[in-house]
């Protein structure tokens, strides 16, 4: 029973069942990741148990990047095809990305306090991540401001969607800056382990816990994304459409 | 209409450029988060003002002198003796990286009052039950 993404965002009982299955799978993965990260994986030789924060921090950061990639792809698809459904995907992606980036900063701050000895440092990785958070919070603020100014409905109006798509795509330029900040500049933050050209050693139980945590976070974020788009569309359908610009939203 | 639009675009471009200039200016300290011992030794006058110095804590160089923690920070074959006032964080140990904040005094020692640990990207299981950290 394979359902494509487009089927899963439909407001039907079958799609809702598919989304529920996904949510339960994500919950199962999250449980496995908690067991693996909390007990199975050993404490780190240098950092002790504080290193377990990695299993929250790294998935939050990576899935945050992925959420901003959704903004990039959906904004591009909207600009090319003019389908407002992609605009709603972009909005939901940005919301998820902002929350996850905030989680990455918060868990990183605690990790830094425990291991580096400081909650915050004016270091390239930390500052660029804060800028990324600001950029997409600004993107969401822009959407809201445009919606109020044009009296259009966010998610159903080209006057909001078009400028938002341009800003959302431009914001993605910061993602590689954040990722490579530890390579381009001197940083307090350690360099990548998993995505390093010559992979530095990581204990296999730690790697397994990290893999499970990333899988759980990815699937959970996908669930939230679909749920958010369905809710947005339900809300838009409940109001009588004021603009005549509605494009048939069904794709495929 | 078209003219107004051009004007508005110009204003936005100028604002963006000014913002970018401010941000890069403010981030100059961020982009070189710390200096290496070699850089500080080559240009000692720059380190009379408060700077950050980073490197590896030389194994065997760590000792305690009352309130002071003394160690050598090395990178690329050059090292500076650091006198740190106040206890370093619990993860601080020889052979790991550290970044200290302070000034270079005339006798060549770096007097620091703030130290953070800069650990690597390798993750190994701890062999023994986590040893109590000696550095406090």
- Of residues A243 and B99, more confidently modeled: B99
Q: Which CATH class is domain B33-118?
A: mainly beta
Q: Give the angle A167-A177-B20 at the CA atoms, nearest 5°.
A: 60
* pLDDT above 60 for A169: yes
B92 at interface of A, judged by CB pairs closer than 8 A: yes
Distance CA A162, CA A139 (A): 12
Specify the length of chain A in residues: 252
A122 and B29: CB-CB below 8 Å? yes
Tell me the pLDDT band of A247, cut-offs 50, 70 and 90: low
Interface pTM, i.e. ipTM? 0.78
Q: How many CB pairs under 8 A join A and B?
A: 99
pLDDT at position B58 is: 94
Out of B26-30, B68-72, B128-132, give the one with best mean pLDDT. B68-72
What is the pLDDT, as a whole number, of residue B128? 58
- Find the CB nearest B34 among A49, A186, A190: A186
Question: Kind of pairing, strands B97-104 and B51-57?
Answer: antiparallel
Mean pLDDT for A237-244 is 65
Confidence of residue A1 (pLDDT cuts 50, 70, 90): very low
- Give yes or no for residue B132 having a pLDDT over 70: no
Residue A52: CB atoms within 10 A of its CB come to 20
Pick the closest to residue A214 from A106, A112, A68, A104 (CA basis). A104
What is the pLDDT at residue A199? 80
% pLDDT > 90, chain A:
73
B119 has binding-site annotation? yes
Which residue is listed with tokens 């062999």? B127
Q: What per-residue confidence (pLDDT) applies to A135?
A: 95
Residue B116 touches partner A, C-beta closer than 8 Å? yes
Q: What is the pLDDT of residues A80-99, one digit of tens each?
A: 999 999 999 999 999 999 99
The residue-averaged pLDDT of A27-49 equals 93
- Under a CB-based contact definition with an 8 Å cutoff, are residues A229 and A64 in contact? no
- Other beta carbons within 10 angstroms of residue A150's beta carbon come to 14
Residue B14 has pLDDT above 70, yes or no: yes
| pLDDT tops 90 at residue A152 | no
Q: How far from each other are the two terminal CA atoms of chain B, in whole angstroms?
A: 69
Q: What is the mean pLDDT of chain B?
A: 85
Tell me the chain B residues in contact with residue A188 when contact means C-beta distances shorter than 8 Å.
Answer: 33-34, 99, 116, 118
Banded model confidence at residue A252, pLDDT cuts 50, 70, 90: very low
pLDDT tens-digit map of B118-127:
988 889 998 7
Give the dihedral of Cα atoms A216, A232, A70, A62; nearest 10 deg. Answer: -30
Task: Give the domain ranges of chain A.
Answer: 28-41+50-190+202-238
**Over residues A239-247, mean pLDDT:** 56
SS3 helix, strand, coil % of chain B, rounded to 5?
30, 35, 35
Place of tokens 């982009």: B31
Mean pLDDT in chain A? 90
Chain A residues 34-53 with CB within 8 Å of chain B = 42-51
Q: CB–CB of B114/B102 below 8 Å?
A: yes
Q: In the prediction, which pLDDT does B1 show?
A: 52
Would you state the pLDDT for residue A153? 83
- Residues A119-149 pLDDT 10s: 999 889 999 999 999 999 999 999 999 998 8
Q: What is residue A3's predicted lDDT score, i.e. its pLDDT?
A: 47
Residue B27 to residue A127, Cβ atoms within 8 A: yes
Residue range B51-71: mean pLDDT, rounded = 91
pLDDT value at residue A198: 80
Residue A82 is predicted with a pLDDT of 92
Give the pLDDT score at A40.
92
pLDDT-based confidence at residue B65 (cuts at 50, 70, 90): confident
Contacts of A208 (CB under 8 A, 6+ apart): A36, A40, A41
The b/e string for A7-28 (b: 16+ C-beta within 10 A; e otherwise) is ebbbeeeebeebbeebbeebee
A46, B31: Cβ pair inside 8 Å?
A: no
Residue B92 predicted with pLDDT over 80? yes
Q: Do B89 and A203 touch (CB under 8 A)?
A: no
Range in A48-52, B11-15, B20-24, B63-67 the model is least confident about? B20-24
Q: Is B132 on the interface with A (CB under 8 A)?
A: no
Question: For residue A80, what is the DSSP state?
Answer: H
Q: Is the pLDDT at A215 greater than 80, yes or no?
A: yes
Q: Is the dihedral of CA A244, A246, A247, A250 positive or negative?
A: negative
* Residue B114 assigned as binding residue: no
């Amino acid at each position: 029973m394979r359902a494509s993404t487009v089927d899963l965002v439909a407001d039907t009982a079958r799609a809702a069942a598919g989304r529920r299955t996904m949510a339960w799978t994500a919950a199962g993965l999250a449980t496995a990741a908690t067991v693996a990260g909390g007990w199975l994986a050993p404490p780190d030789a240098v950092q002790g148990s504080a290193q377990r924060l990695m299993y929250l921090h790294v998935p939050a950061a990576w899935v945050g990047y992925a959420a901003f990639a959704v903004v990039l792809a959906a904004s591009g698809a909207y600009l090319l095809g003019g389908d407002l459904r992609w605009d709603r995907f972009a909005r939901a992606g940005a919301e998820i990305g902002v929350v996850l980036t905030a989680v990455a900063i918060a868990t990183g701050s605690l990790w830094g306090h425990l291991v580096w000895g400081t909650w915050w440092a004016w270091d390239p990785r930390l500052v660029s991540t804060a800028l990324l958070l600001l950029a997409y919070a600004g993107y969401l603020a822009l959407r809201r401001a445009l919606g109020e100014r044009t009296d259009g409905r966010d998610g159903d109006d080209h006057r909001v969607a078009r400028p938002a798509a341009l800003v959302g795509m431009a914001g993605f330029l910061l993602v590689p800056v954040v990722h490579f900040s530890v390579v381009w500049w001197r940083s307090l933050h350690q360099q990548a382990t998993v995505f390093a050209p010559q992979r530095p050693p990581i204990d296999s139980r730690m790697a397994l816990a990290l893999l499970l945590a990333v899988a759980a976070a990815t699937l959970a974020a996908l669930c939230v994304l679909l749920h958010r788009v369905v809710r947005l569309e339900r809300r838009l359908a409940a109001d009588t459409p004021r603009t005549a610009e509605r494009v048939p939203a069904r794709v495929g | 209409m078209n003219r107004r639009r051009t004007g508005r675009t110009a204003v936005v471009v100028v604002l963006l450029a000014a913002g970018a200039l401010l941000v890069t200016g403010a981030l100059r300290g961020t982009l070189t988060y710390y200096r290496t011992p070699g850089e500080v030794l080559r240009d000692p006058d720059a380190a009379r003002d408060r700077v950050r110095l980073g490197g590896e804590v030389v194994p065997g160089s760590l000792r305690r002198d009352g309130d002071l923690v003394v160690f050598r920070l090395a990178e690329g074959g050059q090292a500076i003796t650091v006198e740190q006032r106040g206890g370093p964080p619990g993860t601080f140990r020889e052979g790991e990286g550290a970044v200290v904040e302070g000034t270079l005094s005339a006798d060549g020692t770096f007097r620091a009052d703030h130290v953070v640990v800069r650990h690597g990207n390798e993750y190994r299981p701890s062999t023994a039950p986590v040893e109590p950290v000696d550095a406090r």
